[in-house]
C-alpha cells in the first residue's frame, strides 16, 4: 500500500515537472500563478513522499519532513488564491491583507520548522498496523495546529467563494472553466477533512493536491481556450455571411452552413447540391492545379440574379495528402448593385438617362477605335430653348428634353452612342448607314409637337458631321457638327445642315475680320463708295453710300464678307456711325460748293437699334455738320422694321421730327411687307432687287412690281428700284411709274472721287 501511494506520488511529481516545463513555452496571461502553484504542489508531494518513507529510527528527520509538508500546504493555498484571482480576473486582496496573509504564512512555516525540536504543532509516533502489516508515522496534532488549519481553510474558502461567484455569473460556455476547478478544490478539502477525522494512516488528499495542480495547468492554459476557440469558430461559421460547403477527401459534403443553404437550397437536398457543385467545378477547373482558386459567378435563384464571389480551397496535410476541400460563397449582389448604380450615376445624365459628356467621349473613342465602316456625328439644338424655360417653366423644358432623349434612345442601334452634352445640346454617334435624315427630321418634329400652350412654335436644328478621320478628337467632331448648326441658325426653313470645310474657313475669316476691325477703323481702311440713283428723267438725284474695306494686303473687300460678321459680333454700329459721319461730311462739303441737289442714302443695320440711340446719333450729326437734312436719307431694311415694332416706330417718329426721310430698304424680301406698310410711316419705298433678277416667273414678278408701285403711289410714297441692270428693265419700270432707279445699268458703286468727277 505504501509502495502504491509512493509510486503514485512519484508519477504525479514527474507529470507536474513535465507540466511546468511545457508552461514556460506558452504565453498565456496567468502563466506565472500556474507555475508557482505547480512548483508548490511538487514540493508538497515531494515532502510528503519523503515523510512516509523515513524509517522509524530517524524520528527527527520524519518530523522535519512532515513539518515541511504542512508548511508547504500554507503556500499551496496562498498560490491557489493568487491563481484564482488571476484566473477569474477578480481583484486579488489589496496590499495590506496580502502582506498579512504572507506574514501569517511565514510565521506558520517557521513554526512548523521549529516544531522539529519543540513539537508544539504536532508530534510523531512510529506505528505498525498489525492486520495489514504496515509501518507508518502516526501524526498527533497539538492545539496550535488548529490555528494552521483555520488559516489554510480560510484561504481555501476565499478561493472557493470566488470560483463559485464566477461560476454563477459567467455564460454557459465558460461555466465549465470554473466548475471543474471548484469541484476539485472541494474534493481536496473534503478528502483532507475525512482523512483527519477518521484518523487515517496517510493523508490521501496529497494525491488530489497534485492532480488539482495538473488539472489547473490543463484547464487554465489549454482546455478552456481551445474549447472556446472551437466554440467561436463554429459560431462564426454558423452566423457567417459567407456561405460554406465543406467536403471530405472523397468529395462527400460533410457540412454546409446556413448561409450556403440560404444561397442554394432551403431543404435537406443541400448535400446533393453541394456534391454536384463540386463535380461541376472540378470539371471546369480540372486543368488548374492551384490549391486556392477564386471566381465570380452568377446564380439565378427564384428568378433573381445573385452575384457570388466563390473561393475554392483544398486542405492538405503536412505531407501534401488530400484532406478535403471547401467552397466559400460571398454574396456580392448588393455590392454589384451599388457599384452599378454609382457607375451609372457617374456616366449618365440624370435628367435624360443618356450618357453624360465624359462618358460619351470615352464611349465614342471606343466605338471609333473599332469602327469598320463610315460614321457620322449628329448634333441637335432647339431654337430659343432658354425662352421655353422662361415662358413655360423649367418643368416644361425638362419634359421636352426627356421627350427628345426618348426619341434618340429609340433610334439608337448597335455601335452607336448618344449623350446630352449640355442644356438642349444632344449628340449622337452612329454608323453613317443608320442615319436617315428624313426619319430623324420626322422624329424631331414629333418631339417638338409636345404641345406648348399659346402659339409658340418650336424649331430645331440638326448638324451632321461625316467623320473622315476617326482619330480626330471627339470634341472637334462635335464642334464641327455644331458649326453646321450655326450655319443655319436663324433660318426657319432649314432644319439640317452638313458640315463643310468652308464653315471652318468661314470661322477663320470671321476671326480675322474681328481681329482687324479696330485697327481698320482707326486707320480709316473703311471707305465710302457711292452708287448713283437716277430719276425717271435721267438725272442723278443722289447716291447710296456703300462701305468698302480697302485692306492694305488683300485689297478691296466687299461688305457681304464682313458686315454679317460685324453684325453678329455686335460692333456694326461703330462702322455705321463712321459711314454716317462720312456721308454728312460729304454733304456739308457739297453744300458749300452749292451742290444742294444731291442726296446720300446711308444704311442702318438692324443691330444698330440695339446698340445705339439712333435719333441722338443723327441729331448730333446735324448739329456737327452743316447739311440739308432732307439730303441725308436713311435706309432701314424691311426686316429691321418688323422686329420690335413699337420701339422702331418711336425712333422713326424721332427721326421724322428731326426732318429726315426714311427709306424702306429691300422692300418685298420679307414676309409681310404689305402688312407693315399699314403701321410704318416711311417716306420712300426701295423695291428689292429679287424682283428684277432673272426668274422663271418673270410675269409674276413684273405684276408684283407693277402693283407695289401702284400701291405706293396711292400711299403717296415715291418708289426707287434697285438692281436695275438692263435697258429693258428701265423701260418697263418707267412704264409702270417707278420714280428712281439704282443699278449696274447706270453705274456700279464707285469711289467718291469718281462719283464727283462724273456727276458733280
Ligand atoms: P444693300 O443695302 O441692298 O445694297 C445694295 C447692294 O446691291 C450693294 O452691294 C450694291 O453694290 C448691289 N447692287 C447695286 N446695283 C446692283 C445691280 O444692278 N445688280 C446687282 N447684282 N447688285 C447691285 P454691296 O455694296 O456689296 O452691299 C451689300 C450689302 O451690304 C448692302 O445691301 C447693305 O445691306 C450692306 N451694306 C453696305 N454698306 C453698308 C454700310 O455702310 N452699313 C451697313 N449697315 N450695311 C451696309
Ligand atoms: Ca441699302
Ligand atoms: Ca437694298
Ligand 1 atom at shortest distance from the alpha carbon of 724: 18
Calculate how far, in angstroms, residue 526's C-alpha sits from the geometric centre of ligand 2. Answer: 17
- Judge contact between 238 and 256, C-beta under 8 A: no
Which residues 6+ apart lie within 8 Å of 431 measured at CB? 371, 373, 374, 375, 376, 413, 415, 416
DSSP 158: H
**d(Cα 517, Cα 576) in Å, to the nearest integer?**
13
If one residue of 520, 603, 635 were mutated to test the ligand 1 pocket, choosing by the most ligand atoms within 8 A of its CB, it would be 603
From CA 564, how far away is CA 515, in angstroms rounded? 15
Helical pair 333-347 and 357-369, crossing angle rounded to 10 deg: 100
**How many angstroms does the Cα of residue 544 sit away from the middle of ligand 2?**
7
Sorting pLDDT into bands at 50, 70 and 90, what band is 32?
Answer: confident
* Residue to probe by mutation, ligand 1, list 521, 525, 546, 724, most atoms within 8 Å of CB: 546
CA distance 250 to 149: 63
Q: Which ligand is nearest to the CA of 640?
A: 1
Considering every ligand atom, which ligand is closest to the CA of 533?
Answer: 1
Take atom 8 of ligand 1 and give the residue whose Cα is closest: 546
Largest CA distance in the chain: 178
Instruction: Say how many Å lie between the CA of residue 636 and the centre of ligand 2.
Output: 8
**pLDDT on residue 455:** 60
> Is residue 266 over pLDDT 70?
no
Exposure of 715 by Cβ count < 10 A (0-12 exposed, 13-18 middle, 19+ buried)? exposed
| Pocket probe mutation, ligand 1, options 528, 549, 561, 722, max atoms within 8 Å of Cβ | 722
Beta strands in 483-598 (DSSP E): 496-498, 526-535, 540-551, 555-557
CA atoms within 13 A on the CB side of 42: 17
Q: How far is the CA of 616 from the centre of ligand 3 (A)?
A: 24
For 393-451, what is each residue's pLDDT tens digit? 889 899 999 999 999 999 888 899 999 999 999 999 999 999 999 998 888 888 888 76
User: For ligand 1, atom 17, which residue shows the shortest CA distance?
Assistant: 723
Query: Which ligand gives the minimal distance to the CA of 747?
Result: 1
Q: Which has more confidence, 390 or 1?
A: 390
pLDDT category, 230, cuts 50, 70, 90?
confident
Give tens-digit pLDDT for 595-632: 999 999 999 998 999 899 999 999 999 999 999 999 99
CA of residue 363 relative to chain centroid, distance: 17
The preferred substitution site among 526, 559, 688, 750 for testing ligand 1, maximizing ligand atoms within 8 Å of CB, is: 559
694 vs 44, more confident: 44
How many residues does the structure list for the chain? 760
Residue 36 to residue 221: CA distance in whole angstroms = 14
Nearest CA to ligand 1 atom 24: 559
Q: DSSP assignment, residue 432?
A: G
| Closest to 476 in 3D by CA, of 447, 442, 509, 501 | 501
Q: Tell me which residue has its CA closest to atom 34 in ligand 1.
A: 603
109 pLDDT higher than 70: yes
How close is the Cα of 184 to the center of ligand 3, in Å? Answer: 123
As a whole number, the mean pLDDT across the chain is 90
CA 729 to the chain's CA centroid? 72
Nearest to 545 by CA among 724, 760, 685, 749: 749
At 380 the three-state DSSP class reads strand
Residues near 39 by Cβ (< 8 Å), separated by ≥ 6? Answer: 20
* Pocket-forming residues, ligand 1, beta carbon under 6 Å: 531, 546-547, 558-560, 563, 572, 576, 579, 603, 605, 665-666, 689, 722-725, 742-744, 749
Task: Look at residue 23 and tell me whether its pLDDT is greater than 90.
Answer: no
Q: Average of pLDDT values for 239-247?
A: 92
State the distance from the centre of ligand 2 to the C-alpha of 622, rounded, in angstroms.
21
> Residue 555 — left, alpha, or beta (φ > 0 → left; ψ -120 to 50 → alpha)?
left
Distance CA 329, CA 698 (A): 87
What pLDDT digit, counting tens, does each position of 453-512 carry?
A: 656 678 899 999 999 999 999 999 999 999 999 888 877 788 999 999 999 888 888 899
Query: Nearest residue CA, atom 19 of ligand 1?
Result: 723
Q: 686: closest CA among 716, 664, 711?
A: 664
Q: State the Cα torsion 524-527-528-529 to the nearest 10°.
A: 170
Enter the pTM of the model.
Answer: 0.56
Cα(681) to centroid(ligand 3), Å: 18
Q: What's the CA gap between 420 and 406, in Å, rounded?
A: 12
Residues lying with their CB under 5 A of ligand 3, a single-atom ion: 665-666
Closest Cα to atom 4 of ligand 1 = 546
Ligand nearest to the CA of 750: 1
Are 378 and 430 in contact, with CB atoms under 8 Å apart?
yes
Q: What's the CA-to-centroid distance between 670 and ligand 3, angstroms? A: 12
What residues have CB less than 8 Å from 120, skipping those under 6 apart? 111, 114, 142, 144
The pLDDT tens digits for 547-576 are 999 999 999 999 999 999 999 899 999 999
Amino acid at each position: 500500500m505504501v509502495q502504491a501511494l509512493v509510486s503514485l506520488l512519484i508519477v504525479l511529481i514527474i507529470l507536474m515537472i513535465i507540466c511546468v516545463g511545457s508552461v514556460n513555452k506558452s504565453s498565456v496571461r496567468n502563466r506565472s500563478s500556474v507555475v508557482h502553484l505547480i512548483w508548490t504542489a511538487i514540493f508538497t508531494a515531494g515532502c510528503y513522499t519523503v515523510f512516509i518513507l523515513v524509517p522509524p529510527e530517524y524520528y527527527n528527520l520524519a518530523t522535519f519532513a512532515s513539518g515541511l509538508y504542512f508548511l508547504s500546504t500554507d503556500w499551496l493555498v496562498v498560490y491557489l488564491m493568487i491563481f484564482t484571482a488571476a484566473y477569474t480576473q477578480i481583484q486579488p486582496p489589496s496590499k495590506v491583507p496580502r502582506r498579512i496573509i504572507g506574514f501569517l504564512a511565514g510565521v506558520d512555516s517557521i513554526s512548523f520548522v521549529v516544531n522539529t525540536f519543540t513539537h508544539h504543532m504536532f508530534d510523531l509516533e512510529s506505528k505498525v498496523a498489525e492486520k495489514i502489516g504496515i509501518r507508518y508515522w502516526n501524526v498527533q496534532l497539538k492545539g496550535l495546529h488548529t490555528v494552521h488549519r483555520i488559516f489554510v481553510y480560510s484561504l481555501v474558502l476565499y478561493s472557493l467563494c470566488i470560483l463559485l461567484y464566477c461560476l454563477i455569473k459567467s455564460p454557459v460556455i465558460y461555466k465549465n472553466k470554473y466548475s471543474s476547478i471548484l469541484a476539485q478544490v472541494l474534493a481536496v478539502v473534503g478528502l483532507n477533512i475525512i482523512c483527519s477525522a477518521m484518523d487515517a494512516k496517510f493523508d490521501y488528499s496529497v494525491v488530489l493536491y497534485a492532480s488539482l495542480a495538473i488539472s489547473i495547468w490543463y484547464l487554465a492554459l489549454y482546455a478552456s481556450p481551445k474549447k472556446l476557440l472551437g466554440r467561436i469558430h463554429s459560431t462564426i461559421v454558423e452566423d457567417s455571411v459567407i456561405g460554406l460547403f465543406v467536403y471530405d477527401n472523397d468529395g462527400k459534403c460533410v457540412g454546409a452552413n446556413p448561409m450556403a443553404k440560404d444561397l442554394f437550397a432551403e431543404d435537406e437536398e443541400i448535400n446533393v447540391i453541394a456534391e454536384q457543385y463540386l463535380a461541376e467545378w472540378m470539371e471546369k477547373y480540372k486543368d488548374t492545379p492551384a490549391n486556392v482558386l477564386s471566381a465570380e459567378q452568377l446564380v439565378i435563384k427564384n428568378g433573381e440574379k445573385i452575384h457570388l464571389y466563390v473561393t475554392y480551397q483544398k486542405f492538405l496535410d503536412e505531407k501534401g495528402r488530400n484532406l478535403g476541400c471547401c467552397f466559400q460563397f460571398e454574396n456580392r449582389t448588393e455590392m454589384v448593385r451599388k457599384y452599378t448604380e454609382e457607375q451609372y450615376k457617374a456616366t449618365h445624365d440624370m435628367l435624360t438617362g443618356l450618357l453624360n459628356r465624359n462618358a460619351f467621349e470615352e464611349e465614342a473613342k471606343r466605338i471609333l477605335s473599332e469602327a469598320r465602316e463610315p460614321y457620322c456625328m449628329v448634333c441637335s439644338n432647339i431654337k430659343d430653348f432658354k425662352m421655353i424655360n422662361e415662358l413655360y417653366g423649367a418643368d416644361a423644358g425638362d419634359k421636352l428634353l426627356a421627350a427628345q432623349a426618348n426619341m434618340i434612345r429609340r433610334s439608337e442601334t448597335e455601335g452607336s452612342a448618344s449623350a446630352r452634352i449640355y442644356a438642349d445640346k444632344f449628340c449622337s454617334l452612329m454608323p453613317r448607314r443608320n442615319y436617315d435624315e428624313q426619319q430623324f427630321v420626322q422624329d424631331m418634329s414629333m418631339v417638338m409637337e409636345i404641345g406648348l400652350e399659346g402659339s409658340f412654335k418650336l424649331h430645331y436644328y440638326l448638324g451632321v458631321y461625316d467623320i473622315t478621320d476617326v482619330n480626330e478628337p471627339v470634341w472637334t467632331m462635335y464642334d464641327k457638327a455644331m458649326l453646321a448648326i450655326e450655319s443655319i441658325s436663324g433660318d426657319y426653313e432649314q432644319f439640317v445642315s452638313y458640315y463643310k470645310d468652308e464653315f471652318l474657313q468661314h470661322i477663320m475669316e470671321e476671326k480675322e475680320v474681328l481681329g482687324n476691325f479696330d485697327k481698320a477703323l482707326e486707320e480709316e481702311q473703311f471707305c465710302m463708295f457711292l452708287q448713283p440713283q437716277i430719276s425717271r428723267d435721267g438725272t442723278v438725284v443722289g447716291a447710296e453710300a456703300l462701305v468698302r474695306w480697302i485692306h492694305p494686303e488683300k485689297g478691296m473687300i466687299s461688305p457681304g464678307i464682313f458686315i454679317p460678321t460685324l453684325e453678329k459680333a455686335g460692333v456694326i454700329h461703330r462702322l455705321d456711325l463712321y459711314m454716317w459721319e462720312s456721308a454728312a461730311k460729304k454733304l456739308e462739303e457739297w453744300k458749300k460748293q452749292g451742290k444742294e441737289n444731291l442726296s446720300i442714302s446711308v444704311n442702318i443695320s438692324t443691330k444698330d437699334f440695339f446698340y445705339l440711340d439712333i435719333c441722338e446719333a443723327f441729331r448730333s450729326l446735324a448739329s456737327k455738320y452743316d447739311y440739308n437734312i432732307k439730303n441725308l436719307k436713311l435706309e432701314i431694311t424691311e426686316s429691321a422694321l418688323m422686329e420690335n415694332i413699337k420701339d422702331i416706330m418711336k425712333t422713326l417718329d424721332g427721326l421724322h421730327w428731326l426732318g429726315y426721310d426714311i427709306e424702306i430698304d429691300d422692300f418685298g424680301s420679307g414676309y409681310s411687307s404689305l402688312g407693315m406698310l399699314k403701321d410704318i410711316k416711311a417716306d420712300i419705298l426701295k423695291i428689292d432687287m429679287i424682283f428684277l433678277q432673272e426668274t422663271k416667273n418673270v410675269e409674276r414678278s413684273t405684276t408684283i412690281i407693277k402693283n407695289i408701285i401702284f400701291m405706293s403711289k396711292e400711299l403717296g410714297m415715291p418708289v426707287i428700284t434697285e438692281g436695275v441692270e438692263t435697258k429693258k428693265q428701265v423701260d418697263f419700270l418707267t412704264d409702270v411709274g417707278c420714280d428712281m432707279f439704282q443699278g449696274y445699268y447706270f453705274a456700279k458703286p464707285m469711289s467718291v472721287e469718281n462719283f464727283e468727277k462724273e456727276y458733280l
